[in-house]
Structures are given as C-alpha cells and as structure tokens.
Amino acid sequence: MAMPSKPVSAACRALADQPQFGDLEFNAHQFFGPQRLIDSAGEVIDPGNTLTIGRAQEQSIVLDLDTEAVFIFDFLYFRHGLDSGFVLRCGSVAEFISTVTLGPRYSHIHGPHETWGGAWWLADPWYLYLQELAFA
C-alpha cells in the first residue's frame, strides 16, 4: 500500500535545493550548468564535460562529469596573483564534502593562505563552527 505523499516543507527544500556552508553556496540541481574553463587570455583550457554546481563568492564550484573531480575555479585568478584558476581540487564529490565543505580544507576555498594579508578563515563563522566540532 502506497503512502500518501506529503508536501515538502520549506526547511527541507532549503537543505536539498540550495545548501550553503559558509561561503560555499550550491545551486539547486536544475540550475547546474555547463562550464568551459578558460585562461587569462580567454582560451579554453579544459574541453572536458564540466558543470558549475555552485559558488564560493566570485569563484565557481565545478564538477567534472568525466573524472568526478570537484574543484573551485577562479576565472579572475590572474588578478588574485594565482598561477592557475584551479584554487582547490578534490577527486570526488565525497572528498569535497568531507574535506572542504565539512572539513579542514574549508580555509583554502579562496586560495592559499599565503596569498591573503589576513587570516579571513579565523573570523569566518562556518570555519569556527567546524573547529568547534573538531572537523577543522
């Protein structure tokens, strides 16, 4: 016997549709979109099958459908003194969730610590929460 369906609450939709973890904001799945990675000259550097699945402020959270890698890509990397747009890379969604979203690598989502004048992560509420839980 099938159970009658219940309307999905706003709280459940918020958790599943557009979750946010500090500066990491994930899109609802229907808003995942194709993403071509480019260098500072506007040339495509990776013709792979990639989707933007969220944002970390002005940076994109990208999923490579061929390799299952998840990474943060900064299209303005040259303005931030980085050698590449790849700010942070994980081999899988599970690794990204456990080590970045809910783990110690969260403090690297905006690039290497040495590129920052101050330790922004030490005042970030999400990072402080992760530390309180001993996740970071």
Nearest to 74 by CA among 90, 98, 55: 55
Secondary structure (3-state) at 94? helix
Is 10 within a domain?
Answer: no
User: Hey, what are 77's tokens?
Assistant: 């990397």
Is 125 within a domain?
Answer: yes
Confidence of residue 10 (pLDDT cuts 50, 70, 90): low
- Total domains in the chain come to 1
Is 12 within a domain?
Answer: no
Is the pLDDT at 107 greater than 60? The verdict is yes
Is 28 within a domain?
Answer: yes
State pLDDT tens for residues 59-102: 999 999 999 999 999 988 877 777 888 899 999 999 999 999 99
Secondary structure (3-state) at 64? strand
Question: 108 is in which domain, residue-wise?
Answer: 19-132
Is 57 within a domain?
Answer: yes
Secondary structure (3-state) at 11? helix
Is 84 within a domain?
Answer: yes
